[in-house]
Structure 1
């Protein structure tokens, strides 16, 4: 179980200062993260430790991470985004 303090810390780490990343990571954290298995929560934390330009490239399908854990969490974030209603 993730504490409120840990969720707050993750929220601030999910805000990257790049609109494209913020629009993917923050909703994922709020909507999907709480119900993830512990291993996927650890993968998300690992993703947040990566460089913004790498994360951006992965989410824009320009390339993919070499690490299988990162591949999985990138896929989960993208799937979550695809399933969300379009914001106008």
Structure 2
């Protein structure tokens, strides 16, 4: 695993159970197949505050930034596929 991938996976661990249950499985399953653009978008997503992430994943609001919105959509699509 590359250093970049390891760092992204570590950042997926937020310490909040709700976010960890979404982001950690997503990161583990998707990180190796991600393009550099998708990794950049995930990195930008992980820079956001936990309350914002929860609102976006719960559908209470959407990010104004289109690349972050794309990352949220990818995560939610992955989660729906696990159901």
TM-score normalised to structure 1 length: 0.87
- Stretches of structure 1 that go unaligned for 5 or more consecutive residues are none
Aligned-residue offset at 1:13: 1.1
- Stretches of structure 2 that go unaligned for 5 or more consecutive residues are none
3-state SS, counterpart of residue 38 of structure 2: helix
Query: How much is the aligned-residue C-alpha RMSD, in angstroms?
Result: 1.3
Q: Which runs of 4+ in 1 moved over 2 A?
A: 5-8
Task: Choose 47-56 or 31-40, whichever is displaced more.
Answer: 31-40
Matched residue, 2:56: 58
Q: What is the rounded CA distance, in whole Å, between the counterparts of 1:39 and 1:12 in structure 2?
A: 19
Query: Is the aligned partner of 1:29 residue 2:50?
Result: no
3-state SS, counterpart of residue 59 of structure 2: coil
3-state SS, counterpart of residue 46 of structure 1: helix
Q: Which has the higher helix share?
A: 2
Matched residue, 1:48: 46
Aligned residues: 83
3-state SS, counterpart of residue 63 of structure 2: coil
TM-score normalised to structure 2 length: 0.92
Q: What is the rounded CA distance, in whole Å, between the counterparts of 2:29 and 2:41 in structure 1?
A: 16
Matched residue, 2:78: 80
Tell me if the contact between 2:19 and 2:54 (Cα under 8 Å) persists in the aligned partners: yes
